[in-house]
Amino acid sequence: MRALVSTLAAVLACAPLGAQERFLVRSEPGNPVVTVEILLAAGPADEPEGEEGVAYLTARSVVAPVLPLLDSLGARLRVEGRKDAVSMTMTAAPDAWDEATRILLVALFRDPVSGEAVERQRTAIAAELAGREASPADALAREVDAAVWGRGHPWGRPAVGTAASVARITPAAVEIFLRRAFSQERALVAVVGPVERADVDARVSAFLEPGPLRGGEVPPPLRGDTAVHTEYNAITAWVSASYRFGADADAESLRMLGSLVLDQVGFGPTRRSVYDQRAEVVRHAGGGELRIHLVVPPREAEAWGARIREAVAAYAGAPVPAAVFAERARRFRGRRLLELDSPEARADAVARGALVGERGDPFAAVRGVTAERLHAAARSLEPPVLVYLGPFEKGED
């Protein structure tokens, strides 16, 4: 842990982030690799009816032909579909990152899409989603999205579509979506590693012209019930509390709040019936959500939902005393620094921050949380949407 802190301290001394709207550089001289994060502001809200998942399929299909070239350079690429953007995270050695970046950007913005690649990726994604849809964790995510946004809302469905919807998408539909939604005006690039700003400018500026980012709009939610019970054939119950917050909310303090709530309701010597727990802050332009998830025995689901609400309400009720806060802040900062340990995580934090309108150093945000900010962040949350997934006895639903 001490070595990690020393490494991160060196990172904090590096040059600040670039100020351009869609092009950010974090120079880290001691980093052995370069990570390039490309966000394309396209997702479910841009997809035509009946083509759910076409954004993710398009991204996978476009890069598939160049994967052997990237592999020959020792570069690795990860593609992920999210509600407001498709992310492409590429990591390469310092002597190969510029060539790998050129190959990736040409594939995204200049090469035509291959019908054969679309068919292969469509088959692969449909198979992946069929397996994923059998997981209770995935079922919970689908139910939470539908409860928070509304079942008729684009963000109320999976960002990558379903196995059935992806299997219906044609190569022609992918070609149309590529030309309509994968434009350079929708792209945001963050580069993290031992690179200079001028070097990055020379490589990326030919593909990204100056100007504001297009896309990324968030359709207004279609709010439904604040408590949802969904029957699911499992031996455990999944409980999720989703707290919405506005554009001015303190995201880093809310991350700490989620971590502290899990300390109170997660697995422990007196809470052995909690089988798993997780807290996450989901940011988007104009706000976001603090989501807290527990896996517990079915008969205890309602009680654990109430305990989550009570724990959050306690932090909203009054600031944590200084001595108590100092100890809890140390634990949270250690966890958060570990989360940001990889260059991929830092590139994602920089790019996502720019996409949702948050500029600045992610490490400075971690250090800036105070007891007063934590209290204010807890008070800024709206009442939660609670989702219970599992086997419920008659009368429980």
What Å distances lie between residue 274 and 144, 239, 240, 268, 312, CA to CA? 20, 11, 13, 8, 18
**Three-class DSSP category at 258:** helix
Do the domain assignments include residue 322? Answer: yes
pLDDT for 212 equals 81
The H or E element that residue 188 is part of is strand 187-193
Considering the domain architecture, whether residues 91 and 233 belong to the same structural domain is answered as: no
Closest CA to 25 of 312, 317, 382, 346: 346
196 Cβ contact list (under 8 Å, min separation 6): 27
The residue ranking higher by pLDDT, 275 or 18, is: 275
Same domain (yes/no): 29, 149? yes
Give the whole-angstrom CA distance, residue 57 versus residue 42. 12
Radius of gyration of the chain (CA): 22
Residue 219 lies in a domain: no
Is 285 inside a domain boundary? yes
Last residue of a domain, one of 204, 235, 258: 204
Same domain, yes or no: 137 and 283: no
Query: pTM of the predicted model, to two decimals?
Result: 0.90
Contact 265, 294 (CB under 8 A): yes
pLDDT of residue 167: 97
Q: Is residue 6 part of a domain?
A: no
252's tokens: 């880093």
Which of 29-38, 223-232, 271-280, 371-380 has the least mean pLDDT? Answer: 223-232
Specify the number of domains making up the chain: 2
DSSP string over 157-224 = S-TT--HHHHHT--HHHHHHHHHHH--GGGEEEEEEES--HHHHHHHHTTT--SSPPP----PPP---
Question: Which of 88, 97, 77, 2 is closest to 42 using CA atoms?
Answer: 88
Per-residue confidence (pLDDT) for residue 329, from 0 to 100 = 94
Three-class SS of 22-39:
CEEEEECCCCCCEEEEEE
Please give the average per-residue pLDDT across 127-155, as a whole number: 94
The answer on 251 and 145 residing in a single domain is no
CA distance 168 to 103: 29
Same domain for 42 and 130? yes
> Which residues are within 8 A (CB) of 364 and not within 5 positions of it... i.e. 6 or more apart?
12
Q: What is the pLDDT of residue 11?
A: 41
DSSP annotation of 271? B
Predicted confidence at residue 224, as pLDDT, reads 67
pLDDT at residue number 225 = 73
Measured at the CA of 46, the angle between CA 40 and CA 52, to 5 degrees, comes to 105
Q: In this structure, what token pair is assigned to residue 5? A: 């802190």
Q: Do 255 and 192 have their domain in common?
A: no
Pair (39, 96) in one structural domain: yes
Structural domain of 164: 14-204
Lowest mean pLDDT among 25-29, 90-94, 224-228, 304-308: 224-228
Nearest to 174 by CA among 118, 133, 126, 120: 118
CA dihedral 358, 363, 368, 373 (to 10 degrees): 50
In a domain, 213, yes or no: no
Contacts of 78 (CB under 8 A, 6+ apart): 87, 88, 89, 90, 344
Based on the domain organization, do 169 and 116 belong to the same domain? yes
Structure tokens of 282? 């989901």
Both ends of the chain: CA-CA distance in Å?
Answer: 46
Asked whether residue 215 is domain-assigned, the answer is no
Q: What is the pLDDT of residues 247-294, one digit of tens each?
A: 999 999 999 999 999 999 999 998 999 999 999 999 998 899 999 999
Quick check: is 66 in a domain? yes
**What amino acid is encoded at 357 in this protein?**
G
Distance of CA 196 to the CA centre of its chain: 27
Same-domain check for residues 242 and 382: yes
Q: Do 38 and 185 reside in the same domain of the chain?
A: yes
Round to whole Å and give the CA distance between 62 and 86: 12
CATH classification of the domain holding 197: 3.30.830.10
Q: Which residues pair with 230 in a beta bridge?
A: 389
Q: What is the reported pLDDT for 12? A: 37
- 355 and 246, same domain (yes or no): yes
- Cβ atoms within 10 A of the Cβ of 86, count? 25
Asked if 23 and 169 sit in the same domain, the reply is yes
